[in-house]
Amino acid sequence: MVAPGLTGPAPAKPRWRGVALVLLWAGVGVGALLLLAKSVQNSGEFSRLQPWILLLNVIGVVALTALLARKLTQLVRDYRAHVPGSRLTARTVAIFGALVVAPLLIVYLFSLQFLNRGIDSWFHVEVKQGLSDALVLSRAALDLRVREYSRHTENLAHSLVNASAEDVAQRVYEERRATAALEMAVYGAHERIIAASLENPLESIPTRPPSDLVRQVGERRAYVSLEPQAGGEYLIRTAAPFTESLSRGDDRYLVAIYEVPTQLAALSEAVQHAYSQYGELAALREPLKSSFRLTLTLVLLLAMLAAIYGAIFSAQRLVRPVQDLIEGTRAVGKGDFGTRLPLPSRDEMGFLVHSFNDMTKRLRRAREEATRSQRVVERERERLAIILARLSTGVVVVDRELTVSIANQAAGAILGTDLSAAIGRALPELTAGNERLGQFVAALVVRFGAGREEWREQLDLDGASGRRTLMCACTPQSGADRDLGYVIVFDDITMLLQAQRDAAWGEVARRLAHEIKNPLTPIQLSAELMRRRFLSSMSPQDAEVLERGTRTIVQQVETMQQMVNAFSEYARAPEMRITRFNLNQLASEVADLYRSHDPRVEIRLELDARIDGIEADRGRVRQILNNLVINALEALDGVATPRLELATRFEQAAGDARYAIVTVCDNGPGFQRELLGRVFDPYVTSKPKGTGLGLAIVKKIVEEHGGRIDADNRPEGGARIRVVLPMTDSTRSASGIRERRAELRREIV
Amino acid sequence: MLRIDPLNLRSILVAIALAVCSGQAHGDALDGVLEVRSAYVSMEGGVFLLHARIEYPVSPAIRDALHDGVTLTVDLDTRIERERRFWFNADVQELTLRRELDYHAVSDRYLVRDVRSGTQKSFATLEEALADLGAVDGWPVLIEPQLAPGNYRISVRAGLRRGRLPASLHALMFWTDDWHRVSEWYTWSLPD
């Protein structure tokens, strides 16, 4: 598997996108934390931003969680699918995550604990109790004053019941001065001021009595209140009706305002302040703890998620070149040397990737070189194969065990087997049923066994279809390794030898005819002259001797004359008179002739109706048939049930070439095995009579017709001669003869 | 201007935060009516004066909290906007009248304090103190030169929260503090 983008330039987009995403979220997170921190220091400005900051943080957490979930899902999927590099990524993430999360969690738990305990420690029971006690004490201290002033005011009010208006004013003034009150005033019905004395000379009107005071004194009850002032001072406002009896109808009441001594006021205010502060904080304890917990948790979540995401991101970035390398190696393993990995960075990994790229480049070059060389070799091999196929010489390459590695078509044809199917097999395995190949292999075994590696010899191979003579040469295959095997080159020179023999015999015949025929006539004439001249004048005894002698001379001369005529016939190359005639009919005629000649012999005819007409010299074809039948009949002498078969058969060879095959078989003794290769040579005969030229002449005529003749023995006994004749004159072109011969040879085999 | 009320947002976030993190149940400590009952402006010598009546909630929880030493901060937010036909309204003025209510344990009285002026009043009962807080009379909010021709809208809103926190704590507290409420905006048009 080759990852997309491996071969192209570095896939910058996804990586930059990832970096940008991480930077964005890191920025958002840091910004949010900064804002939060700053808001702690300056709440005024940032209090309005707090919801937004919180929202941002929550969004950050959610987004990071989503991203992380996606990453983790992908990681798990890759891990299960055994994607290269996923295990390394998972391990790195686990280590990074553990390294980051563990301290974070420890700090978090520690902080939480510390916060809880710290905040709780602010609110000790003793502190609260102490504050309450201080409060009670302050109240008691002030209460003393309050009651004192209240009693004084009540007493004064009672003492003024019967006083005149002037006396009241005087008394109020004096009492105010005497008690150091801030204000002292006497009110009548509807808050009418009857008399008033103020410490502040700038003020002329006393402070208006509060409504609750008015209500209370209206009910003829004394009033007192301790009023804290803005500056930390305390005022004691007391009021008392002149009389407690409602029935008296006296609505007047006295209001006096005293100031609590500064020291007592300050102490009380301090207690109040502390109490208030403590109460406020105590009320805030739980919300405060929750707030801290939440903030801390949020910060932890943000930090943890960001850390794990960062760990995954970093691990993937780290592993990416390794994955590329794995994929690249796989691609190279599959033979793709075009793989180029993107350079991740200039570190060691970059160096490794660079080395890998360099290696694939070298491999690619080497392979191209090898491919080129292979192509050249292939081309040479093809040329060689074509040459070998075109050769009529057989070429076989074998190793020491005679296993065939190369064999051309001609070799198969010569050895009578299909050697193209024998490539890779040992030659001895193929010899079953092929006598000629068996002899060939035996000859090789003998020579190789004798340690002969380079030789050139003529091999005679006997087979059912006759003897074949091969000119065979063996050469060890050249090369550093001597065990490459042998190249065996052989040619079937049977025909060549035959042609040589034919030519020699032709020459002999011509010379015989020329040199012997001429003296025969004078010899005969001379013998006859001698008989005529001297027979009448001789004694009967001498005459009989002469008569017998001259008759013998004349008979022998006639015999010689016949022989010379036969030779002449053999040597002669008469003009061919090609006509179209029915071969089957001619065969029938010849058969009928010899049936009548020797009725003892059973002559069977088996004619192929497809042979309607043949273009040839009718007289010479008749001679062929005559000679063949005569030859067979002569061979049947002394056979108990002589039988002769004359058959014609139509054969369509490759292309338009058509042939007529004439077969003459007998059930005689057959050809002698040692003569089988030379039965068509002149004077090769096993019969007591005959010139020994019959089959030689047949062969000559057949070859003049561009045909071919073969002789062999039938498996069931008896001789068989097959004549193959082209049916049309056009087939018989001189140029096609050799090729046709090869073709015919294969067919006959 | 487009506004998202931070307090509404905050309550949503608080709900989320509570659901996610805390699980602690916080009852609403400021239960009860909190609303601007009436409000109007009068003009005196070129100054617009705001008069308003606000009802603040009274509950044992508030009383107890005050007795424990907690200070309540009472805000009256005022917003004056100029209406625009094809766009959001323009802000002209935003003011907050901030006052504090606390219980003076030494004197057993409730104090109402104006944060800006520092003036302070004391009351024997919480009801009296809240009644005082609920009455705003003649609070100057705008001067005439600030107004260009056009239609103006005035909105008033009352807020109540646990106040006087240390600033750092206040920042942290906002998402778990349920001692914080605001009324609906009470809005009317400024007469021409």
- A606-623 pLDDT, tens digit per residue, is 998 888 889 888 888 998
pLDDT band at B3 (very low <50, low <70, confident <90, very high): very low
Which of A50-64, A136-150, A244-258, A267-281 is most confident?
A136-150
Chain A residues within 8 A of B102 when measuring between CB atoms: 276
Q: Are B8 and B157 in contact (CB under 8 A)?
A: no
Look at A51 and B170 and tell me if their CB atoms are within 8 Å: no
CA distance A44 to chain B (A): 8
Token duo for residue A321? 């070149």
Q: Could you say which DSSP state residue A729 is in?
A: T
Burial (CB < 10 A; 0-12, 13-18, 19+), residue A4, is exposed
Picking from A230, A268, A279, the nearest residue to B106 by CB comes out as A268
Phi and psi at residue B156, to the nearest 5°: -130, 140
User: pLDDT value at position A340?
Assistant: 81
Measured over the CA atoms of residue B134, residue B112, residue B126 and residue A214, the dihedral's sign is negative
For residues A406 and A427, what is the distance between their CA atoms, to the nearest angstrom?
Answer: 12
pLDDT band at A699 (very low <50, low <70, confident <90, very high): confident
Q: Are A637 and A677 in contact (CB under 8 A)?
A: no
Q: Are A298 and A62 in contact (CB under 8 A)?
A: no
Q: CB contact, 8 Å: A42 with chain B?
A: yes
Phi and psi at residue A529, to the nearest 5°: -65, -45
For residues A285 and B176, what is the distance between their CA atoms, to the nearest angstrom?
Answer: 11
Phi and psi at residue A640, to the nearest 5°: -65, -55
> Structurally, what CATH architecture does the domain formed by A137-260 represent?
2-Layer Sandwich (3.30)
| Residues of chain B numbered 98-137 and touching chain A (CB < 8 Å) | 102, 104-109, 111, 113, 118-120, 122, 124, 128
Look at B119 and A230 and tell me if their CB atoms are within 8 Å: yes
Picking from A42, A230, A269, the nearest residue to B118 by CB comes out as A230
Picking from B69, B120, B171, the nearest residue to A277 by CB comes out as B69
Chain B residues within 8 A of A288 when measuring between CB atoms: 169, 172-173, 176
- Indicate the pairing of strand B47-55 with strand B72-82: unpaired
Picking from A39, A225, A297, the nearest residue to B171 by CB comes out as A39
User: pLDDT value at position B15?
Assistant: 53
For residues A587 and A616, what is the distance between their CA atoms, to the nearest angstrom?
Answer: 14
Picking from B109, B122, B172, the nearest residue to A292 by CB comes out as B172
When pLDDT is averaged across residues A97-112 and rounded to a whole number, the result is 88
User: pLDDT value at position A93?
Assistant: 86
Fold entry, domain A575-748: Heat Shock Protein 90 (3.30.565)
For residues B53 and B39, what is the distance between their CA atoms, to the nearest angstrom?
Answer: 6
Chain B residues within 8 A of A39 when measuring between CB atoms: 171
Half-sphere exposure of A271 (CA within 13 A, CB side): 24
Chain B residues within 8 A of A224 when measuring between CB atoms: none
Look at B107 and A229 and tell me if their CB atoms are within 8 Å: no
∠ CA A384-A389-A390, nearest 5°, is 100
User: pLDDT value at position A480?
Assistant: 59
Q: Give residue-wise pLDDT tens across range B67-115.
A: 888 888 898 999 999 988 888 888 888 999 999 998 998 888 999 999 8
Task: For the beta carbon of residue A635, count every other beta carbon within 10 angstroms.
Answer: 22
CA distance A171 to chain B (A): 30
Q: Give residue-wise pLDDT tens across range A178-188.
A: 888 899 999 98
Closest-CA residue in chain B for A274?
B69
Total CB pairs under 8 A between chain A and B: 140
Token duo for residue B114? 């104006």
Half-sphere exposure of A477 (CA within 13 A, CB side): 17
Q: Give residue-wise pLDDT tens across range A555-582.
A: 888 888 887 777 777 776 667 788 899 9
Chain A residues within 8 A of B10 when measuring between CB atoms: 50-51, 54
For residues A534 and A251, what is the distance between their CA atoms, to the nearest angstrom?
Answer: 230
For residues A97 and A312, what is the distance between their CA atoms, to the nearest angstrom?
Answer: 8
Closest-CA residue in chain A for B162?
A280
Chain B residues within 8 A of A276 when measuring between CB atoms: 69, 71, 102, 105
CA distance B75 to chain A (A): 15
Burial (CB < 10 A; 0-12, 13-18, 19+), residue A333, is exposed
Q: Are A47 and B163 in contact (CB under 8 A)?
A: no
Closest of B55, B62, B28 to residue B39, by C-alpha = B55
Look at B69 and A294 and tell me if their CB atoms are within 8 Å: no
DSSP for B97-152? Answer: EEEEEEEETTTTEEEEEETTT--EEEESSHHHHHHHHTEEEEEEEEEGGGPPSS-E
Chain B residues within 8 A of A61 when measuring between CB atoms: none
Token duo for residue B9? 């947002």
Closest of B76, B49, B81 to residue B183, by C-alpha = B76
CA distance B101 to chain A (A): 12
Token duo for residue A409? 């078509």
For residues A129 and A548, what is the distance between their CA atoms, to the nearest angstrom?
Answer: 187
Average pLDDT, chain A: 82
Token duo for residue A296? 């801390």
Task: For the beta carbon of residue A442, count every other beta carbon within 10 angstroms.
Answer: 14
This model of the complex carries an ipTM of 0.75
Q: Give residue-wise pLDDT tens across range A216-228.
A: 988 889 999 998 8
| Three-state SS sequence of A543-578 | HHHHHHHHHHHHHHHHHHHHHHHHHHHHHCCCCCCE
- Indicate the pairing of strand A614-617 with strand A602-606: unpaired
Phi and psi at residue A176, to the nearest 5°: -60, -45
Helices (H) and strands (E) in chain B, counts: 4, 10
| Residues of chain B numbered 14-43 and touching chain A (CB < 8 Å) | 16-17, 21-22, 24, 26
For residues A420 and A428, what is the distance between their CA atoms, to the nearest angstrom?
Answer: 15
Closest-CA residue in chain A for B128?
A212
Q: Give residue-wise pLDDT tens across range B10-33.
A: 555 555 554 444 333 344 566 778
Q: CB contact, 8 Å: A51 with chain B?
A: yes
∠ CA A686-A691-A695, nearest 5°, is 70
Look at A43 and B68 and tell me if their CB atoms are within 8 Å: no
Picking from A39, A138, A290, the nearest residue to B106 by CB comes out as A138
Closest-CA residue in chain B for A135?
B106
Fold entry, domain A391-492: Beta-Lactamase (3.30.450)
- Residue A690 above 80 pLDDT? no
- Indicate the pairing of strand A643-652 with strand A602-606: parallel
CA distance B70 to chain A (A): 4
Closest-CA residue in chain B for A45?
B171
Look at B22 and A50 and tell me if their CB atoms are within 8 Å: no
| Residues of chain B numbered 147-186 and touching chain A (CB < 8 Å) | 162, 164-165, 167-178
Residues in chain B: 192
